[in-house]
Structure 1
């Protein structure tokens, strides 16, 4: 094979594998954390809006560190940026040790913020680093290959959140915990915080090992960019380009939609399973039997599944646990759809495919709002398939033809992840209303992801029009 056609040259194979593993590591962090909104809300007896402070500080760290990370790798190297990212990631995880001992909410928020500052460094460094590991002609394919490992990490994070955290938390909700004596409440809270913290501490140790491996490994040492590049001048020039300016705005709304759909599917499903329980028809669907046979369920939920008799209602904890299993199913569809949509890009322009996927998201989000019960939950699961290729497609459209300016342009698109702070907080406020007219507030809250998909549709449409001109 001609070296120009190689996706990953042989000399770059080991560095590529090491950096690609980072894509899975930040996917793990993102999707073990989304279900923790419900967990913290239950542990500290807060509403959904209180739990979403996790999302505010988690995704706020991306916005805080994207441009500092870009400046850092411009002054030093991509490898240095990766190491700083891994170091902050590990530090944030290990801070769960004192946080769980203190037993208060703010120390956990500090740990999350430090951890996500590391993730921002990782994403800002790893994406262009992978692009540099081979010929320009295969750069996009190389990045797509690396990005394929991100949802694998996400699935692992969801699995750990379900089997190691939610399955072992005390199932009592806020109302039941309020009836406990102070010493009983503290004992339950202490138990739950240690259950929640242990996986983070374990991944922190894994990150330290990865830090050491990459630190001693021989890595390509590329000249990242012109050190005389003017940051503000470059940004000013970039934001005069419509496809980039609109791309950053669209990316903010996409990230907000993704986080809302993957976070509040737990509250959406929890309401269904606590209100309606599990019917024999639900049990006959096969999905819950599969996860039960693999040992993914807590013992009390497993008994319900094994009986096949259904149950009139579940505790809040059991309802959240089963809802998170459906979130894993949504991530599976996301992963499969990513490969399918990547294949479809051979035949459909990126802007047009983005438009089609966003229209699908609008239709399914509407079903999530207006269809109550399990069918509404299935619509919400289907939204994940529509989201599968949105982030990299928006990223690619916005940066196409940017040349060296793409270094800071990429940082702007990573900073757009800050969209994950405001929108989920707004949705949580709606959910805490409980009921809006005749409709459940959790159903109505998905009007926000629907609006996000409308904005993405417009960006796809405008991209197609620009390409036609």
Structure 2
């Protein structure tokens, strides 16, 4: 038995190997971790509702509304490394509990934010939620892949990630009925109001933003309590420590990762992909409202429900295909077809463009978890796993950058539809990344693990 297969811990029915993986998957613990995935999906999809709400209430241009995503994904970027340090010093379980607590605090901040009724206060609440989600994604994405045999790591992460669209759908449904409700077209309604009447009505609409977060708070507290009482595997590599027995420092980890060209390309691909996905979802509702002035905000939000259903189906189909074919080949084809649908979204001047944006979500399905797990696989020294995962999560900051760029393009061209050229270019770049990775796999078949 080689060093990496040496058993370093045997507890409650599972054995932890020296590389951090387990000999079997503890089902309850895996399900519990997987149930956390839709929680950040709900928060992300509510942002798409808030962007439309804030644009009308605070009279914002498209570039300014993108600050919702900048606050959200900026929080991810700033906290990912501190979260990885917490994991290294403590445990995955501790980091997940920290994330849930910050998430709870952020949701709680919506209560005073709705009273203060300023855009800045809402952005602060969204940032606090993002801090919690950064802890959750930095820990859960890697932890899910580690909860079982190494050869099935990619499959486990994709199974967990398959639940994210369910959270997205829940978030958009809560927003559709609890925030938009029977308001109609908020922008049209408020355009006829002025002065004190407009301010009073805007404050009333902001009160509606509290409603979905009440339900989310209850679920968060329940999950936190269950997790606190559940024994969880450590799943941390111990066999490849340095001669002094110390874990590598952040500087040592950075020096190691900076020499890994495939890791760097994976991080960049994740940056571009998350930015593209975020901007498509951020502006699909706006695109529908721009192309059809007769529909209400609530009607337009239904298109996002369709998008998340398409995303969910896309994940299921990809999971099936990746069990039978090379994952890089499957993702190359997915990305190429997604590029085509975005081209049609950008240039077809009718509601058909909205349906093409929805089709694009089908091809988003497997992208994030596959890029994540595939990039993490390029890190051979598993002592660096936690921090490497944090760098990949930091790439989520693309969700703060690309929507802002699309917002600027929309304002400069006075065309929300043409601004979809931004995510189209992004998808071309993601396609090129997977194509080169597929060619690499063909040249190095010995490096392809089972089911990857």
**Pairwise TM-score range, normalised by the shorter structure:** 0.7 to 0.9
Deviation at 1:10, TM superposition (A): 8.6
Q: Judging changes above 3 Å, is the alpha-carbon distance between structure 1 residues 393 and 14 closer, same or farther for their aligned structure 2 residues? A: closer
Please say if 1:206 is aligned against 2:225: no
- Secondary structure of the 1:446 match is helix
2:209 is aligned with 1:196: yes
Alpha-carbon distance between aligned partners in 2 of 1:365 and 1:424, rounded to the nearest angstrom:
15
Counterpart CA distance in 2 for 1:137 and 1:347 is: 14
Aligned to 2:342: 365
Aligned partners of 1:327 and 1:381 also within 8 Å: yes
Is the 8 Å Cα contact of residues 410 and 416 (structure 2) preserved in structure 1? yes
Distance 1:8 1:233, change over 3 A: closer
Matched, 1:134 2:148: yes
- 1:149 partnered with 2:163: yes
Aligned length: 418
Tell me what 2:305 maps to. Answer: 328
Q: Output the TM-score relative to the length of structure 1.
A: 0.84
Distance 1:74 1:209 in 2: 26
1:232 is aligned to 251
User: Contact 2:263–2:379 (CA<8 Å) still a contact in 1?
Assistant: no
Q: Distance in 2 between matches of 1:124 and 1:28?
A: 17
Aligned with 1:243: secondary structure?
helix
Q: Residue 196 of structure 2 is aligned with which of 154, 168, 183?
A: 183
Partner in structure 2 of residue 113 of structure 1 = 127
| 3-state SS of 1:348 partner | coil
- Report the TM-score, using the length of structure 2 for normalisation: 0.87
2:329 corresponds, among 352, 361, 365, to 352
CA distance in 2, matches of 1:163, 1:222: 41
Counting only pairs closer than 5 Å after superposition, residues 312-323 of structure 1 correspond to structure 2 as: 313-314=294-295, 318=296, 320-323=297-300
Summarize the Cα distance change of 1:237–1:11 in structure 2 as closer, same or farther, 3 Å threshold. Answer: closer
Q: Using a 3 Å threshold, how does the CA distance of structure 1 residues 398 and 131 change in structure 2: closer, same or farther?
A: closer
1:224 deviates by 5.8
Q: Which moved more, 1:233-242 or 1:412-421?
A: 233-242
1:270 corresponding residue in structure 2? 289
Question: 2:5 corresponds to which residue?
Answer: none
* 1:44 shift after superposition: 1.1
C-alpha separation between the residues in 2 aligned to 1:189 and 1:64?
32
Alignment of 1:20-59 (within 5 A): 20-59=34-73
SS of equivalent residue, structure 2 residue 392? helix
> What is the aligned counterpart of 1:80 among 94, 98, 117?
94
CA contact (8 A) 2:157 2:369 kept: no
Note the C-alpha offset of 1:137: 3.5
| Pair 1:443–1:223, CA change in 2 (3 A) | closer
Q: Does structure 1 residue 468 correspond to structure 2 residue 445?
A: no
Contact 1:97–1:201 (8 Å) recurs in 2 = no
SS in 1 for 2:59: coil
Shift of 1:138: 3.0
Shift of 1:445: 0.3
Of residues 397-406 and 193-202 in structure 1, the stretch that sits farther from structure 2 once superposed is: 397-406
2:391 is aligned with 1:408: no
* Aligned-residue offset at 1:150: 1.3
> 1:402: how far off?
1.9
In the alignment, which residue of structure 1 is the partner of 2:405? 426
The answer to whether the aligner puts 1:258 opposite 2:232 as a matched pair is no
- Shift in Å, 1:221: 3.8
**In 2, Cα distance between equivalents of 1:166 and 1:413:** 35
Structure 2: segments with no counterpart, 5+ residues? 1-13, 16-20, 444-452
Structure 1 range deviating more: 450-459 or 124-133? 124-133
- Secondary structure at the counterpart of residue 442 of structure 1: coil
Q: Match of 1:384?
A: 361
Deviation at 1:190, TM superposition (A): 1.6
Distance in 2, matches of 1:357 and 1:460, equals 10
